[in-house]
Amino acid sequence: MAKLDTMKLAAFVGTLLIAQAAGAQISSSRAERVAKLFAQLRWDDEAGYKRYLASRDEVTHALLREVDRFIAESFSSAVSPGDVKDGLDRLFGYKQGMAINNVAFSADLPGGTFLIVGVEIWRGGRAIAENAMSFRAYRHDSDRLTFVGATEDLHGGDATYDALDWLHVRRIDRPPVSSECWFLGWAMVPPRSPYTIAMRAYAFDGEAFRTVWKPLDVVVTSIEAAVDVEPTAFVVNSLFSVDGNPLHATEIKHEQFALTRDGPVVVAEWRTTIQ
């Protein structure tokens, strides 16, 4: 394991301990463990990059295990999703305004009530984010939250390039399978320009997640405006050009997807001029 910069680590731990005061308590030992793990996911030079590549996946999964323990040990089943998100942000040292985003929402299913958390782990060098993302489910068991399962890691269409940034999520209000929770998750694929997003549609049945839709990456004008979600459908808004080069785009293509038990299907398409 690479020797850590002790001054940087101490500063990071101090930031975490100061930030914890307004919410769920974060012990000094937990803050230090998380800070050490995050320090291994940052690099500044070629030697650091090689160490990062060698340990990246192992350290990422160690951080996700810390997330599971933190949620189980810090929150009761009466907690609001917003409080869990805030707690994770404090645990990770994320501040308002950063293009990095943990998310949380609840789901009432035949098997009980669940908390679903989208975790974004900050990784990479100074110039380009290489963040990892995972959706994780926790069951309300009496007065505690118990980890149930997680999605495959969200990544772009290129299996050899898994860098992502700025997680977004939207629930489907009326999914085609009433006993399941369906939602869309998407994030930016850096450093591509114009903005490119990787997107998935997930279903959770109370025991496991399944990926019901895994499209090609989409080029958009805005990460936040890439998708419009309706109660039983959604619209993807992508750049359109006659020659297929998004840099030459003069229109936005809108594709409306209806939801079926087997996944989304296109039911309408139209274009509007870029203003």
Q: Per-residue DSSP letters for 11-65?
A: HHHHHHHHHGGGSS---HHHHHHHHHHHHTTB--SHHHHHHHHHHHHHHHHHHHH
Residue 245: the pLDDT is 79
The count of other CB atoms within 10 Å of the CB of residue 193 is 9
pTM of the model: 0.85
Tokens 């087997």 correspond to 262
Residue 261: the pLDDT is 93
d(CA 252, CA 197): 15
Q: Domain segments of the chain: what residues?
A: 6-273
Written as one letter, the residue type at 96 is Q
Residue 113: the pLDDT is 96
Residue 244: the pLDDT is 81
Residue 156: the pLDDT is 53
Low-confidence ranges of the chain (pLDDT < 50): 1-4, 6-22
